[in-house]
A and B are shown apart, each in its own frame.
Chain A
Amino acid sequence: MHFIFSDEVVLLFDFWRVHSPAGMAISVAVVLLLAVLYEGIKVAKVKLLRHALESLPIPTSQQLMEETDGESASSDSLSVGRSHLRWFLCHFGQSLIHVTQVVIGYFMMLAVMSYNTWIFLGVVVGSAVGYYLAYPLLSMI
Chain B
Amino acid sequence: MNHSHHSVAPPHHHPTTATAHSHSGGDGHMMSMPMTFYFGIKDVELLFSGLVIKTAGEMAGAFVAVFLLAMFYEGLKIARESLLRKSQVSIRYNSMPVPGPNGTILMETHKTVGQQMLSFPHLLQTVLHIIQVVISYFLMLIFMTYNGYLCIAVAAGAGTGYFLFSWKKAVVVDITEHCH
Stretch at the interface among A7-15, A19-27, A71-79, A123-131: A7-15
Closest residue of chain A to B38, judged by CB?
A14
Within A71-117, the residues touching B (CB, 8 Å) are 91-92, 94-96, 98-99, 102-103, 106, 109-110, 113-114
Stretch at the interface among B6-14, B51-59, B61-69, B169-177: B169-177
Chain B interface residue bracket vs A: 20 to 34
Q: Tell me if A92 and B175 are in contact (CB < 8 A).
A: no
- Proximity bits, A41-58, B CB within 8 Å = 1, else 0: 011011001100100000
Residues of B within 8 A of A95 (CB): 159-160, 162-163, 166
Q: Tell me if B155 and A99 are in contact (CB < 8 A).
A: yes
Partner pick for A110 among B143, B168, B171, B175, CB 8 A cutoff: B143
Considering the chains assembled together, what is the distance between the CA atoms of A14 and B113 in angstroms?
Answer: 51
Closest residue of chain B to A52, judged by CB?
B170
Within A24-70, the residues touching B (CB, 8 Å) are 42-43, 45-46, 49-50, 53, 61, 64-65
Classify the interface of chain A: helix, strand, loop or mixed: helix
Considering the chains assembled together, what is the distance between the CA atoms of A102 and B37 in angstroms?
Answer: 16
Show 25 residue pairs from A and B whose CB-CB distance is below 8 angstroms, ordered by the A residue.
A10-B35, A10-B36, A13-B37, A14-B37, A42-B179, A45-B179, A49-B170, A50-B175, A64-B168, A64-B171, A65-B172, A91-B167, A92-B163, A95-B160, A95-B162, A98-B158, A99-B156, A99-B159, A99-B162, A102-B155, A102-B158, A110-B143, A110-B144, A113-B144, A114-B35
